């Protein structure tokens, strides 16, 4: 079995956008329960927070300063975007979320493990270079990719994003950085509905509402896999959102657990071809707690089982 890390941090459960918000702390508790009895999964609970210099590899200094300045006092919540509210713990949680993604990359590249799954909140893939958006403050996967490129010295990193929403923030950050191949599948038309850039290193896979697993797999086989094989990434990062599940309340695709397991295995096969198997996955969306738990378990089991 491949050595697989499960990286999380207690601050992720303290970030609370308020009652009734779908991006709730219970998501991490549900995932934790689902991963409890997976023998051999190595738990890491103390990833260091991302430093400002880590964040500014993906964001403007003005954005990082503005988010930090927005931190409210006890018992207060403030909105940094119409969908994105923060409490007194959110900024620390956001630093640890990005830090967990870096820690996963660091340990995998240092050969401490083959794969890592980071169960983190707040999520990241909607956060643009200069803007918080869609429950996201800092773009965790983008911060980790830039760390792999600029600090560790890799030349090519792929980011695969199967969240039901387009990873507009990741696209915004890497629009002019072809060291990153960004593959994103998403329900379309749908939130966030930002303009899509046309670049060879940006692979868009829009899916109509109602798309099922069979059509999803065909689209991934046509759009993602040949592009990934040509690109030969040295590391694969995954923006693992599970809100394309048919039971998810926020969207209208019809994937099930076995589809997430399938796409995970396809990405692992590419990682084995060019990246010495190295793959780090970070949590994005997924809002039905039962479907989220089952989907994450399938995803992590695929990481653990793959040789």
Q: Of the two residues 133 and 275, which places its CB atom closer to Zn ion in the complex? A: 133
Q: Which of 59, 89, 96, 126 is catalytic?
A: 126
Residues with Cβ < 8 Å from 198, sequence gap 6 or more?
A: none
Which residues are paired to 208 by β-bridges?
none
Q: Which two tokens stand for residue 151?
A: 């600090």
CB of 241 to Zn ion, least distance (A): 4
Q: Of the two residues 106 and 299, which places its CB atom closer to Zn ion in the complex? A: 299
Q: Of the two residues 173 and 292, which places its CB atom closer to Zn ion in the complex? A: 292
CB of 46 to Zn ion, least distance (A): 27
Stretch that binds Zn ion, among 85-93, 148-156, 165-173, 191-199 (CB under 5 A): 165-173
Q: Binders of Zn ion among 187-246, rule CB under 5 A?
A: 241, 243
Does 23 bind Zn ion (CB under 5 A)? Our answer is no
Q: Report phi then psi at 240, rounded to 5.
A: -95, 90
Q: Which two tokens stand for residue 306?
A: 């793959």
Q: Of the two residues 12 and 241, which places its CB atom closer to Zn ion in the complex? A: 241
Q: Binders of Zn ion among 270-299, rule CB under 5 A?
A: 285
Q: Of the two residues 25 and 192, which places its CB atom closer to Zn ion in the complex? A: 192
Buried-state track 143-177, b at ≥16 Cβ within 10 A, e below 16: bbbbbbbeeeebebbbbbbbbbbbbbbbbbbbeee
Q: How many chain residues interact with Zn ion (CB under 5 A)?
A: 5
Q: Which two tokens stand for residue 143?
A: 């911060």
CB of 168 to Zn ion, least distance (A): 11
Angle among Cα 11, 49, 59 to the nearest 5 degrees reads 110
Q: Which two tokens stand for residue 82?
A: 């119409």
CB of 33 to Zn ion, least distance (A): 22
CB of 184 to Zn ion, least distance (A): 11
Does 163 bind Zn ion (CB under 5 A)? Our answer is yes
15 as an active site residue: the answer is: no
CB of 122 to Zn ion, least distance (A): 12
Does 122 bind Zn ion (CB under 5 A)? Our answer is no
Closest residue to Zn ion, judged by C-beta, is 285
Among 9, 59, 85, 165, binds Zn ion (CB under 5 A): 165
Q: Of the two residues 106 and 245, which places its CB atom closer to Zn ion in the complex? A: 245
Cα gap 74→88, rounded to integer Å? 6
Question: Are the beta carbons of 105 and 147 closer than 8 angstroms?
Answer: yes
Residues with Cβ < 8 Å from 294, sequence gap 6 or more?
A: 34, 257
Cα gap 176→166, rounded to integer Å? 18
Q: Which residues are catalytic?
A: 126
> Which stretches of the chain bind Zn ion, using CB under 5 A?
163, 165, 241, 243, 285
């Amino acid at each position: 079995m491949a050595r697989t890390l499960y990286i999380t941090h207690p601050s992720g459960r303290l970030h609370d956008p308020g009652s009734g918000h779908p991006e709730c702390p219970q998501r991490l508790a549900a995932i934790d329960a689902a991963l409890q009895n997976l023998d051999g999964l190595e738990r890491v609970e103390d990833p260091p927070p991302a430093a400002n210099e880590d964040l500014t590899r993906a964001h403007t200094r003005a954005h990082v300063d503005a988010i930090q300045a927005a931190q409210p006092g006890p018992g207060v919540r403030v909105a940094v975007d119409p969908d994105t509210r923060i409490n007194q713990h959110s900024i620390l949680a956001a630093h640890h979320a990005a830090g967990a993604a870096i820690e996963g990359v660091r340990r995998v590249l240092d050969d401490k493990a083959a794969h890592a799954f980071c169960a983190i909140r707040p999520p990241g893939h909607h956060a643009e270079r200069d803007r918080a958006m869609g429950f996201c403050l800092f773009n965790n996967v983008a911060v980790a990719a830039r760390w792999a490129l600029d600090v560790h010295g890799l030349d090519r990193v792929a980011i695969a994003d199967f969240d039901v929403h387009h990873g507009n923030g990741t696209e915004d950050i890497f629009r002019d950085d072809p060291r990153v191949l960004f593959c994103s599948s998403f329900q379309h038309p749908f939130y966030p509905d930002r303009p899509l850039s046309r670049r060879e290193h940006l692979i868009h896979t829009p899916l109509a509402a109602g798309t099922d697993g069979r059509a999803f797999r065909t689209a991934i086989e046509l759009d993602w896999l040949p592009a990934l094989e040509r690109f030969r990434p040295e590391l694969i990062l995954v923006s693992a959102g599970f809100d394309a599940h048919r039971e998810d309340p926020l969207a209208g695709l019809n994937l099930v657990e076995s589809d997430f397991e399938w796409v995970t295995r396809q990405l692992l096969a590419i990682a084995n071809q060019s990246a010495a198997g190295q793959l780090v996955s970070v949590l994005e969306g997924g809002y039905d707690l039962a479907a989220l738990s089952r989907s994450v378990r399938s995803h992590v089991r695929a990481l653990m089982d793959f040789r």
